[in-house]
Structure 1
Amino acid sequence: MVILLFEPWNLGDAIIAASIARLTPDRIILACNSRWHEVLQLASNGSLNLLPLDLPYVWRTDKKLFSLGDAISTVTALKSDTHHITEVISIRGDIRDWVAAHRIIRGATFNFSGWLPFCARKLSLFDLPFKHGYLGVRNRYCAWAKAVGIPFSSLERACLAHPEKQENAPVVIHVGAQWRSKQYPHVGELAALLKKAGNLVEILAGPRDQLPSGISDAMVQRPAWPELVAHLRNSRCVITNDSGPMHLAAYLGCRTLALSRCSNIAEWLPPGVTALSSPSSPRGYRPVAGYWSDQILSGWPSPVEVMGSLRP
């Protein structure tokens, strides 16, 4: 029996699914956007069974609703693949994924869940019971483990393997975020406090990431995938916002502190990662109003609070 995890969306989504796929790579294929394949194989030492899944509707600038686009190559790859996929699984609850999966894959059963969380994220009415605490928010790592039938304890063991690091290993702050609203705005002050406490500090960003106020390009490294994986693996601790780098650091077994303000970190938090959230963070599925914007949000945890949350 071969299971295909259908996850065409962002890096963080792909890494969450990869955390499950790496537990039984002989029977699980992860279908995700091909731009994430390099970093996933680097992080997993080439152990993942990956399939390209490049669907145009996942990008904000080229929606083409229900078009398969470059995913036609996935159809070709499946026809020549010796594996027989018996089940296709998704936890996102997006009807576009359901339609695309049925067009691409034949002769399998489809286990698609997450419809209520997806509706709650999009519509305030559906989010009310989660916002007011009558219903709990589903963690995506738990959801994937449940959908595949893998004990969550197995996932926890894989994510909690923190290798011992030398005391002089650097503390890495990754400022990457697609939107400024998700970016921790007090990086300069936090870096200064860390250095004052005797830490070596490295500030990382993605190739096109905007930088927080007070941080110049001269203060930041923008590593390519191989160098990024090496930086994270060699770190003593990683501090990041709720983002792809947070999931990557957790996947690599790094000691990680996640800072959250504009969405409920409970939905996204990897096993073994410490979260420090603003009291103003949402309790349900819907993010704050300025989530998809470059608005710089107030109310983040202070650098002093971050320092107090770091593990010894």
Structure 2
Amino acid sequence: MRGPCGSTRRRATDAFPPPGTHAAPYRGDGPGAVRSQVPQLDRPPRPGSGTAARAGGCGRHPAVAAAAAGPVSRPPAAGRGEPSPLSPAGLGGCVSGTSGRRSPYRQERPTVSAPQRILLIKPSSLGDVVHALPVLAALRHRWPDAHISWLVTPACAGLLEGHPLLDQVILFQRRRLGRIWRSPAAGAELADLSRSLRHGRFDLVIDLQGLFRSGWLAWQSRARCRVGLSSARELAWVFYTHRVAADVNLHAVDRNLRLAAAVGCPTDSVEFPLHESPDARQYIDSRIPPGQPIAVLLPGANWLTKRWPASRFAELVDPLHRRHGLNCVTAGGPETAELAAEIPAHYNLSGQTTLPQLVALLRRADLVIANDSGPLHIAAALGRPLVAVFGPTSPQRSSPYRREDSVVRLDMPCSPCFSRRCSHRSCLRWLEAQAVLSVVQQQLARHGCGALAR
């Protein structure tokens, strides 16, 4: 029988290693790639997880892929009955390039001539919205006078509302609109959204989500240029006029930048424009006295399988205060309140901050320790010293961008499994606090926090 991690099911008694078999963690070849000698699970390795597939053994933290795929030949001409490549004339002069059916071949880069109205589609999640910010910066650099809109869910809108690089935030009520099959009101609201997208008269739409609903919304805009990845899921690619090839194993930021480069934006410099709210900063200063060194602990994550146990976070509080003089602050959404109650932090702001206020808190942080979650990527975008705790997900795809030295994880036969359900969660339960504290020391020293790194 196959288990939730894609391997043979384990007995309940095997969820933790027997006493005396868990060796002390040691550092692997790359900084931050913490590994531990753990007994082999009673399951075969995942397909493609051996040394032949990943250099250095199963689960080793790979560096973020930065190189683009090599050049390949153009696809053959469309045959009888196949869709023909779109011509510049057919796109009203907005884009030149190739399109047509989904193909493994790289397509010619389209060139966009001064679009007046641009729509970015990236509704969620929080970390993915952060990873899309470099595309916004690239578009604004390329076309400073264009009207740029962003379609986003209300949960993530706080990161974009009032942003100086954006002209409009379009709210997408994903949960409510998902009930269109049984709610006439939801159907009418979706029709209103589709109508407003058409009335937006967008010249260029870039779908950064790559799902059926986002591709359908791009098509509903009736924009002449609709660009997305050829690897988009759920047949979203059928709604695009142009498809851009990108390796699915590239980091999310690099995949997004492929789309920006495809429409002619410069991508040599990667920027994460996070605007600061004075009111939000004032609120944080009212809760935590300014000038006080703080370490922000973020025990939450959308998936239960991505959460390092709260008891492990609790083990960090005393060493961080005693060795580095840091006062610990727990933070996150309302769902983290129960986790924060288990952590004896000096300040507890879990469930007590809006998204702009959370950004202000992370901007003040001298250190951030977090699971693979949206706030982690906000801290990385702000350039804060951080430690990223990874378990079932792949640092190659979603580590803090160009900060792979901040990642701490165990080398497990079943990790990464990308599973939201797991009977044992060994990849995080076996990860000890001392492994995280070792990376803390390096991060503080690397970021010039000499007094804190002692």
TM-score (norm 1): 0.74
Give distance in 2, aligned partners of 1:168 and 1:114: 48
- Determine if the alignment matches structure 1 residue 37 to structure 2 residue 149: no
Give distance in 2, aligned partners of 1:151 and 1:29: 19
> Residue in 2 aligned with 1:171?
295
Confirm or deny: 8 A CA contact 1:265 1:275 kept in the other structure: yes
> Residue in 2 aligned with 1:88?
205
Shift in CA distance, 23/250, structure 1 to aligned 2, threshold 3 Å: farther
Give distance in 2, aligned partners of 1:257 and 1:8: 27
Shift in Å, 1:178? 2.2
Shift in CA distance, 16/70, structure 1 to aligned 2, threshold 3 Å: farther
Give distance in 1, aligned partners of 2:317 and 2:379: 19
> Residue in 2 aligned with 1:297?
425
Shift in Å, 1:102? 1.2
Confirm or deny: 8 A CA contact 1:57 1:64 kept in the other structure: no
Confirm or deny: 8 A CA contact 1:7 1:31 kept in the other structure: yes
2:169 to 51, 55, 60: 51
Deviations 1:82-113 (A, max 9, x none): xx42222224432232223212x013222221
Confirm or deny: 8 A CA contact 1:89 1:147 kept in the other structure: yes
> Residue in 2 aligned with 1:196?
322
Shift in Å, 1:287? 0.3
Give distance in 1, aligned partners of 2:259 and 2:297: 33
Confirm or deny: 8 A CA contact 1:53 1:71 kept in the other structure: no
Between structure 1 and structure 2, the one with the greater Rg is: 2
Shift in CA distance, 277/7, structure 1 to aligned 2, threshold 3 Å: same
> Residue in 2 aligned with 1:141?
253
> Residue in 1 aligned with 2:353?
224
Give distance in 2, aligned partners of 1:35 and 1:54: 10
Amino acid of the residue matched to residue 173 of structure 1?
L
Shift in CA distance, 305/75, structure 1 to aligned 2, threshold 3 Å: same
Shift in CA distance, 93/47, structure 1 to aligned 2, threshold 3 Å: closer
Shift in Å, 1:276? 1.9
Give distance in 2, aligned partners of 1:58 and 1:276: 37
Give distance in 1, aligned partners of 2:127 and 2:188: 22
Shift in CA distance, 201/272, structure 1 to aligned 2, threshold 3 Å: farther
Amino acid of the residue matched to residue 145 of structure 1?
L
Shift in CA distance, 243/72, structure 1 to aligned 2, threshold 3 Å: farther
Give distance in 1, aligned partners of 2:365 and 2:187: 40
Give distance in 2, aligned partners of 1:167 and 1:304: 28
Give distance in 1, aligned partners of 2:123 and 2:188: 12
Give distance in 2, aligned partners of 1:281 and 1:189: 26
- Determine if the alignment matches structure 1 residue 12 to structure 2 residue 124: no
SS in 2 for 1:208: helix
Give distance in 1, aligned partners of 2:410 and 2:188: 40
Question: Cα RMSD between the aligned structures?
Answer: 3.5
Confirm or deny: 8 A CA contact 1:236 1:254 kept in the other structure: yes
Shift in CA distance, 259/112, structure 1 to aligned 2, threshold 3 Å: same
SS in 2 for 1:22: helix
Amino acid of the residue matched to residue 174 of structure 2?
P
1:265 to 392, 395, 398: 395
Give distance in 2, aligned partners of 1:260 and 1:231: 22
Shift in Å, 1:141? 0.3
Structure 2: gaps spanning 5 or more residues: 1-114, 235-246, 275-289, 446-454
Confirm or deny: 8 A CA contact 2:296 2:329 kept in the other structure: yes
> Residue in 2 aligned with 1:277?
409
Structure 1: gaps spanning 5 or more residues: 120-134, 160-165
Shift in Å, 1:182? 1.3
- Determine if the alignment matches structure 1 residue 207 to structure 2 residue 334: yes
SS in 2 for 1:39: coil
Deviations 1:53-90 (A, max 9, x none): 4153699xx5658x867454544544554xx4222222
Confirm or deny: 8 A CA contact 1:11 1:244 kept in the other structure: yes
Deviations 1:134-177 (A, max 9, x none): x8712110011110114544115869xxxxxx995211111221
Give distance in 1, aligned partners of 2:294 and 2:341: 22
1:181 to 305, 321, 330: 305
Give distance in 2, aligned partners of 1:242 and 1:221: 19
Confirm or deny: 8 A CA contact 2:198 2:222 kept in the other structure: no
Amino acid of the residue matched to residue 184 of structure 1?
W
Shift in CA distance, 49/37, structure 1 to aligned 2, threshold 3 Å: farther
Shift in CA distance, 296/175, structure 1 to aligned 2, threshold 3 Å: farther
Aligned length: 279
- Determine if the alignment matches structure 1 residue 115 to structure 2 residue 231: yes
Amino acid of the residue matched to residue 200 of structure 1?
N
**% identical aligned pairs:** 21
> Residue in 2 aligned with 1:162?
none
Shift in Å, 1:24? 3.6
Shift in CA distance, 263/58, structure 1 to aligned 2, threshold 3 Å: farther
Confirm or deny: 8 A CA contact 1:239 1:257 kept in the other structure: yes
Shift in CA distance, 36/255, structure 1 to aligned 2, threshold 3 Å: same
Confirm or deny: 8 A CA contact 2:306 2:392 kept in the other structure: yes
Deviations 1:168-209 (A, max 9, x none): 521111122123221121111122321221222111121123
Amino acid of the residue matched to residue 314 of structure 2?
G
Amino acid of the residue matched to residue 255 of structure 1?
P
